[in-house]
Structures are given as C-alpha cells and as structure tokens.
Chains A and B, each alone.
Chain A
Amino acid sequence: MTDKKNNDPFWWTLFGAGGTISAFFIPIHVILLGIAIPLGWAAAPDYEALIELVRHPLARIYLFALISLSLFHWAHRFRFTLYDGLQLKHLEQYIVVLCYGSAIVGSVIAAYLAFSI
C-alpha cells in the first residue's frame, strides 16, 4: 500500500456522470440548434421566450450540469488517451493540470453564465 492519496475515484465519478449526461442530451442539442434549425427544418425559438426558458431554475441547473460534467468527462478520458495513445506517462503532472484545470475553468464560466443570465 502506498501513502499517496488517490483521487481517481473522484475524477472517475465525474467522468461517469459526464459520459451519461452527454450521451443522453448532447445529440438532440446538436440536431436541434446545429442542424435542424439552421437548415430550416424547425423554426428558431423566439429570443425572449428562449431566455425566459433558460432562466428557469431547473434549466440553469441542467445547462450547468450538462456543460460542466461533459468537460470533466473529456478531461478524464483525454488524460488517459494521452498516456496510453501518445505514450506520455512521464508528463503526467502537466497533463492532469491541463485536463482537469481546463474542465474547472470551463465549469466556472458555465456556472457564471447559467446563473447570471
């Protein structure tokens, strides 16, 4: 046994939650706002109505969770892809800071936007 504290279960939980929420919800967002509405298959929602929708407490929580957990999902998976795929185990500290650090910064921005809008 080593004394080194292992944070992996914590990051893994965020990874798992992010993988699930992104798997369920990102495809429909991409289809609606990225493809169907721009191509005119569906009418764009009215700005005022949309902002009212986003201001609903559940919508704020939903958007924050979707963005933040998706970022942590990426951070964890990308970290290990860099290790295994690119054989960069020796750069572990930098990769950890880069991956989880970006996810934390993104989450703070998402929290600010989602709760101040």
Chain B
Amino acid sequence: MAEMHQKASGTKTETNPRYERYRPKRHDPGMSIFWWIRKWPYVRFISRELTSILVAVYAILLIVQLSALSRGEQAWQALLDWFATPYSIGLHVVILLCVLFHSITWFNLAPTAMVVKIGKKRIPGTAIVAMNYLMWIFLSGAVAWIVLSV
C-alpha cells in the first residue's frame, strides 16, 4: 500500500514543496466481457438481447424460402426435403424457443414503451399486455389458416 502510494504521488505544489498532490494511478483492468454471467437478471438481459440473432437467422431463412419458391417447384421441393431433416428440425426448435423468449419479453415490456389513454385515464399495463397476447394468438391463427388453406 505504501509503495503504491509512493508511486501514485504526483507533482509537488509550488506553495508548499513538501505537499504532494494525491493522484493515484490505479491500474484499470477494464470490465470482463463476461460481466453479465454472475447474476441471473444480467444473464436474462443478455439472453434477451441475443435472441435477436435468431430473429435475423430466421429472416435469412425466409429469404431462402422466397428464393427457392422463385426458382421453381424443384428448388422448393428440395428445400422442403431439407426442412424434413433432423438438423433442420433441431435448428427450427432452437429458433422457436429463442423467438418465443423474444415475443414474451417484447410483449411484457410493451406497456413500458407505450402509454395508452382513454380520455384522461391511462390503460393499465396488464391490459396492454393482455391485448398483445390476444393479438398474437389471433394473428398466428390467421397466418396458419391462410398458409394451410391455400
């Protein structure tokens, strides 16, 4: 400690040559890139942020689907065959779990980002979350119905 203090001491002042300004030069190791791993809320935060990677992966898979569709029936069938492999199904299960985590955290945060009022009364957050979930069910049903009934 004494040694550190000696090293840390800075310039002498003019008025009192015996007084040294205290200027500690502490070593700053910076933050570890794994700063988030020790606390559960931080792990959840980072996991939530990382779900965006799977959202992007599925956006790319949608491009692949469009591309196969545009190249003709054979290309589309080849893609469907690949989709039936265990690798693809495993990948889609992982994507689904991450995207569900994204959807749930997104809808639960909606009242924080959005204040809806009727007259002067603010609609309670739980009502906004509930509306989001109902919309989610309705829209999912609509997409499933359209795709499966063509």
Contacts and interface: CB of A to CB of B under 8 A. Distances in A.
Interface string A2-39: 00000000000000101110111111111111110111
A30 B144 CA distance: 11
Contacts of B83: 33-34, 37-38
Interface stretch (B16-24, B63-71, B117-125): B63-71
B80 A53 contact: no
Nearest to B104: A23
Contacts, number: 162
A104 interface: no
Contacts of B2: none
B92 A35 contact: yes
A113 B46 contact: no
Contact of A106 (B52, B53, B63, B136): B63
A103 B49 CA distance: 17
B33 A34 contact: no
Nearest to B106: A23
Contacts of A98: none
Interface in A25-83: 25-35, 37-39, 42-54, 63, 66-68, 70-71, 73-75, 77-78, 80-81
A93 interface: no
Interface of B: 30-31, 33, 36, 46, 49-50, 52-53, 55-56, 58-63, 65-67, 69-70, 73, 76-77, 80, 83-84, 88-89, 91-93, 95-96, 99-100, 102-103, 106-107, 113, 135-136, 139-140, 143-144, 146-148, 150
Interface of A: 16, 18-20, 22-35, 37-39, 42-54, 63, 66-68, 70-71, 73-75, 77-78, 80-81, 85-87, 106, 109-110, 113-114, 116-117
Given A27-B96, A30-B95, A32-B143, 9 more contacts: A28-B143, A33-B65, A47-B77, A66-B59, A67-B59, A70-B55, A70-B59, A86-B33, A117-B70
